[in-house]
Amino acid sequence: MSRATLTIDTGAIAANWRALDARSAAQVETGAVVKADAYGLGAARVAKALASIGVRSFFVALAEEGTELRATLGPKPMIGVFSGHMAGDAALIGEHTLTPMLNSPEQVQRHFAHLPGHPFGIQLDSGMNRLGIEPADWTGLRQAVMQARPDLIMSHLACADEADHPMNARQLAAFRDLTNGLGVARSLAATGGILLGADYHFDLTRPGIGLYGGAPFQDASDVVRLSLPVIQARALSPGETVGYGNSWQAARPSRIATVAAGYADGLIRAMSGRATLWAGQVPCPLVGRVSMDLITVDITDLPETPESLDILGPAQGVDALAEAAGTIGYEILTGLGRRYARRYEAAA
């Protein structure tokens, strides 16, 4: 079989949620962000595992993601939608009991007009200038919104992965100014915000990447292993080249393994000549260009040709691979290909 295997440890995801939950006080609720198919790892499996250990609030980006999640989780958990109430979504939001985080005066109007009495949250812009009601608009809307009793008021931090960044304190102060004294549950922290400490926790936290083993949560348990089958191996003489564009040339007698995954599977082309695969603890450099379905790997230093090589696993996590490719762990995870055979285990 040339299909690569992506092993996802839902026990490690549960352990990461518990570890992040332990970073905030007992009265602070810890939610879970499962947008983009739980960062590529499978929203249904991940959300079920998290619900089974007591997670009560989930977040997605789009209403459509929320409807699938509702079918998975049943009626009880809160499912928040970061993009809010978009035109045409009233039926989805209403029938599946989603909680849109309203982002603009238009969304507030739309929600009150189409779904009066239906649960909602408010997303405020505290300085990131991406999603959320602007402070000037909030002043005018606040009274009507508070009369309709929102379930949550939230905002999002732009620089939380840098603990010393002055933007964190600025956004904290802005969020407090906009929300102090309202008597509504508040949420400011994603993974990075949880690690910034108690001032940032408010009533509910919203971790995503930390659950899936990524930075900035340095103490996370490994969640994914990606094993790529070796299709064939060959001996090269010095001076022979490998792959498109002849971009790598053997400097010594070499053995090159051709391995079954490529940029169509999320191993982005920027990894060409830069990433490392692993045979247990032995590093094997990716050589030549990444092509659509294949990569080529220098296995000269291995005693024999392995059946497979790992590109994610205990020897190399998502952040290490991301660094080699000039990106971030989030992009590596959400790019994980649809062709991989996903295997779930609950080791922890």
Residues of this chain that interact with ligand PLP (CB under 6 A) are 33, 35, 82, 156, 190-192, 206-210
Min. distance of Cβ 200 from ligand PLP in angstroms? 12
Catalytic-labelled residue, pool 48, 212, 244, 263: 244
In the annotation, is 244 catalytic?
yes
- Is the Cβ of residue 9 or residue 125 nearer to ligand PLP in the bound state? 125
- Is the Cβ of residue 207 or residue 306 nearer to ligand PLP in the bound state? 207
Q: Which residue has the tokens 């102090």?
A: 180
In the annotation, is 35 catalytic?
yes
Min. distance of Cβ 114 from ligand PLP in angstroms? 23
- Is the Cβ of residue 20 or residue 108 nearer to ligand PLP in the bound state? 20
Residue 190 C-beta-side C-alpha neighbours within 13 Å: 22
Min. distance of Cβ 191 from ligand PLP in angstroms? 3
Residue 328 C-beta-side C-alpha neighbours within 13 Å: 8
Q: What share of the chain is helix, strand, coil (3-state, %, to 5)?
A: 35, 25, 45
The two beta strands, 5-9 and 224-236, are antiparallel
Quote the CA–CA distance of 278 and 281 in Å, as a whole number.
6
CB atoms within 10 A of CB 31: 24
* Residue among 308, 275, 303 nearest 290 (CA): 275
Min. distance of Cβ 33 from ligand PLP in angstroms? 4
- Is the Cβ of residue 148 or residue 158 nearer to ligand PLP in the bound state? 158
- Chain residue at closest Cβ approach to ligand PLP: 208
Catalytic-labelled residue, pool 35, 39, 263, 330: 35
Catalytic site positions: 35, 244
